């Protein structure tokens, strides 16, 4: 295990500067907001530009289980929609307390798959004022890559980014040129922590059930491997794996032996594969009761941790590397970076002198 004392050194390397909203006195520059409505979580992030990155002014995350039952019914349930709308009302109230120049709200796999997804988002607009757009799986991979790029080393040739979500798992195969990433392949697998949890239920907590989940995911990864030959590239060297999801950050928190989850200790850490495997084994050994009590898991996530670990184990089996870069960042951060870059370009154009 990595000693907890190492976390102090990691804090200084965090890319995004964070401040508690009640400590904000003066804010220089405009504020922007990003909302991400996923299969399992509703998330919001508010930030203001700070150099090439941003300073976090406010953040919100709540498990709403929007995709609950979607695998079997093909539609969002009334209870799930109510939970999501309740969380979005909270976001709206928090945004009403500050001046925000621009808001972008996105919905992902649950609303892409659900037959009533578009109708639900119309209802969301009527009740909360948020105008959500359903993004494609490619844009989902691009946004995750946008936010995670600063964590990629400048000396690599390739990187494989994976994002284990609630209803899908995104893969991004990236060429690195002087540290600049180019997306050369992507895929969205229709499996995530919610879909696997519903499909396997209590069986996923047993050794045989967990191994069956892993084998299922391995078979779904093989077509992407067949096209891009990533395993061969890994053997040749210069390939880095980067994971961004609650599963990966939980494994890092366990490996770091944290007494409570701390983003600054986890975001950007390079985790030895053996430490990740040991953390995964530790979580599996805890059982349902132990996971509920663990400070990096808790009762709200107990059903989803092992399904996420199964996806991670499958990725590690198909593409074994010595280290994994861990990212506690994703779609919201990518949205904010894009919004701020576009706003900066608009402001620069306005300042350009008029040509005669």
Name which of 24-38, 94-108, 214-228 the model is least confident about: 24-38
Is the pLDDT confidence value at 15 over 60?
A: no
Name which of 93-107, 145-159, 236-250, 342-356 the model is least confident about: 342-356
Is the pLDDT confidence value at 17 over 50?
A: no
Higher pLDDT, 350 or 21: 350
What is the pLDDT averaged over residues 25-42?
85
Task: With CA atoms as reference, report the closest residue to 260 among 268, 269, 249, 270.
Answer: 249
**One CATH from 3.30.420.150, 3.30.70.20, 3.20.20.80, 3.40.50.300 for 144-331:** 3.30.420.150
Q: What percentage of the chain has pLDDT greater than the value 90?
A: 71
Each domain of the chain, given as residue ranges in start order, spans 9-137, 144-331
> What's residue 349's pLDDT?
79
> What's residue 354's pLDDT?
60
Is the pLDDT confidence value at 4 over 60?
A: no
DSSP three-state, residue 245: coil
Long-range contacts of 81-85 (CB under 8 A, 24+ apart): 81/120, 81/123, 84/37, 84/42, 84/124, 85/123, 85/124, 85/127, 85/128
Higher pLDDT, 37 or 3: 37
> What's residue 356's pLDDT?
55
CB 57 within 8 Å of CB 48? yes
Span 289-328, pLDDT tens digits: 999 999 888 888 899 999 999 999 999 999 999 999 999 9
First to last CA, the chain: 66
Would you list the DSSP string of 112-136? HH-TTHHHHHHHHHHHH---EEEPP
> What's residue 279's pLDDT?
96
What is the pLDDT averaged over residues 30-59?
93
> What's residue 108's pLDDT?
94
CATH architecture of the domain covering 9-137: 2-Layer Sandwich (3.30)
Is the pLDDT confidence value at 160 over 60?
A: yes
Is the pLDDT confidence value at 12 over 60?
A: no
Give the span between the Cα atoms of 1 and 256, in whole angstroms: 6
Domains 9-137 and 144-331 share a fold: yes
> What's residue 309's pLDDT?
96
> What's residue 21's pLDDT?
44
Span 268-291, pLDDT tens digits: 999 999 999 999 999 999 999 999
> What's residue 26's pLDDT?
55
Give the tokens for residue 345: 């370009």
How does the average pLDDT of the chain come out, rounded? 88
> What's residue 350's pLDDT?
77
Q: Whole-model pTM?
A: 0.84
């Amino acid at each position: 295990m990595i000693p907890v004392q190492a976390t102090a050194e990691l804090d200084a390397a965090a890319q995004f500067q964070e401040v508690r909203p009640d400590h904000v006195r003066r804010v220089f520059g405009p504020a922007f907001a990003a909302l991400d409505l996923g299969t399992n979580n509703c998330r919001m992030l508010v930030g203001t530009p700070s150099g090439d990155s941003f300073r976090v002014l406010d953040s919100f995350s709540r498990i709403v289980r929007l995709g609950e039952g979607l695998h079997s019914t093909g539609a969002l349930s009334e209870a799930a929609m109510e939970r999501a709308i309740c969380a979005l009302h909270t976001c709206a109230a928090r945004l009403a307390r500050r001046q925000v120049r621009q808001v972008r709200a996105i919905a992902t796999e649950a609303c892409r798959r659900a037959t009533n997804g578009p109708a639900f988002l119309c209802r969301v607009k009527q009740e909360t004022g948020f105008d959500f757009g359903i993004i494609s799986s490619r844009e989902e991979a691009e946004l995750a890559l946008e936010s995670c790029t600063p964590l990629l080393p400048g000396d690599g040739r390739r990187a494989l980014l994976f994002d284990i979500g609630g209803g899908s798992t995104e893969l991004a195969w990236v060429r690195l040129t002087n540290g600049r990433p180019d997306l050369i392949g992507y895929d969205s697998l229709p499996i995530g922590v919610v879909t696997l949890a519903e499909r396997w239920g209590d069986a996923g907590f047993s050794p045989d059930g967990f191994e069956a989940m892993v084998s299922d995911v391995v078979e779904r990864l093989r077509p992407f491997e067949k096209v891009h030959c990533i395993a061969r590239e890994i053997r040749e060297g210069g390939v880095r794996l980067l994971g961004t999801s609650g599963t990966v950050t939980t494994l890092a928190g366990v490996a770091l032996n944290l007494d409570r989850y701390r983003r600054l200790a986890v975001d950007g850490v390079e985790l030895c594969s053996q430490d990740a495997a040991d953390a995964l084994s530790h979580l599996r050994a805890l059982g349902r009761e132990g996971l509920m009590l663990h400070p990096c898991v808790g009762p709200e996530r107990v059903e989803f941790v092992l399904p996420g670990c199964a996806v991670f184990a499958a990725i590690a089996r198909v593409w074994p590397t010595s280290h994994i870069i861990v990212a506690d960042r994703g779609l919201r951060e990518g949205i904010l970076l894009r919004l701020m870059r576009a706003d900066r370009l608009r402001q620069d154009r306005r300042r350009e002198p008029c040509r005669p």
